[in-house]
Structure 1
Amino acid sequence: MIWVQAAQISSFKFTLVTDFKLRDEAEYKTRIVQNGRLLEKYFGDGSKITPSHLYKSFDNKEDDMDEKYKLKLACIYESVLRAKELNIKIDGYILDLVDELDLFNQYPWGWRIYDLIRHAFTRSWEYQEKRYSLWRFPLAM
């Protein structure tokens, strides 16, 4: 369960709201061919690929439309499902996963997204500084 102040989100409620199935990813992880083809073709050494690098990869008009589609799926995963900042590294595993479109469409995203959301909720409260401000506070006379 995720506890944020007075709110809690259980995995059951998460499944009801998002309709992501909470299934095991192990079977799918073994079927993914981790060759790094998209990573090598579009990002070279791939030392640090950020979402902004991913957006720039769409600029080349001569590329194959199928590969652009795969890169856009990775972009949707990074910007919508993970909702990360623009300076954080993209996982090469996702690029290998979108390279296998049938597997990407069947992939059970439930536990992965639930863990990401749980981490985001707990992280935001963990590092928040406790402080008070009198800005726009009406002073009683």
Structure 2
Amino acid sequence: MSRASTIEFAIISGLNCSDNGADFYFDTDQPNRIIAEYFSGNSPVTKARLAEAFKAKVWGDYQEDAYKFGILYYMHEFFMSAEPTTTTIDRLDFDLVETDIFMDYPWGWKTFNELAKSINNKIKPTRQYYRIQGFPLPMQVLFYECCSYVDDKIVIKVSSHIPRIINWVTKNDHPRFDYFMKQSLKMQIIRLSSEILNQ
């Protein structure tokens, strides 16, 4: 992974993309309170189990834990997108939230690595969709930023700030693949026609 690509990811996402993740070390011989209290048994905490616990409000009246569950749920539902039933949440993530230093952690580095691993050798021309892990929204925004034409039925640019991710507002949350293909073909025809006329 190049330094330039992580800088671009940081500019778009606004996340900390420094590579000092190894500086965050916790004694894993000691139990994590959140895991011990809310996730009984020895089975790993999957994304699905975390979502169930969050939706059930397992913390009861304990508002401090509600806050911690909210952070974990938000990070894994939005930033660390992955298949819910098989994806295990790292013990480190629970330790970061439990000790209140999660804001200092380089989440951008982690999500960028997950995104890079996910798309490596996966994108094949025969497929019509891909399950991308990590934080794919910045890649989508990069596409919008670099594309000469973006259909305003899908997304519109509302500002020009950093992080770039806040500059775009989606109009259609679930555009279909065939719609993208038609729009792409339409733009290629317009471009070719323009080139022919200008010869």
Matches within 5 A, 1:1-141: 1=1, 10-23=5-18, 24-27=20-23, 29-30=24-25, 32=26, 34=28, 35-58=31-54, 59=56, 60=58, 62-88=60-86, 89-101=88-100, 103-122=101-120, 124-125=122-123, 130=126
Structure 1 residues 56 and 22, CA gap change in structure 2 (3 angstroms): closer
Which aligned segments of 4 or more residues in structure 1 are displaced greater than 4 angstroms? none
* Cα displacement (A) at 1:51: 2.1
CA RMSD of aligned residues (A): 2.7
Return the structure number with greater relative CO, CA threshold 8 A, min gap 6: 1
- Count of aligned positions: 122
Corresponding residue for residue 136 of structure 1: none
- 2:84 maps to a residue whose letter is L
Structure-2-length-normalised TM-score: 0.52
1:56-97 deviation digits (Å, cap 9, x = unpaired): 223236341111211121111111111011212222221111
CA 1:65–1:117: 2 relative to 1, 3 Å = same
Listed one character per residue, the Cα deviations across residues 88-109 of structure 1 (whole Å, up to 9, x for unaligned) are: 22222211111112x1112222
Distance in 2, Cα, partners of 1:18 & 1:113:
10
Provide TM-score, normalisation by structure 1: 0.71
Which residue identity does 2:66 align to in structure 1? K
Greater Rg over alpha carbons, structure? 2
Distance 2:13 2:53 in 1: 30
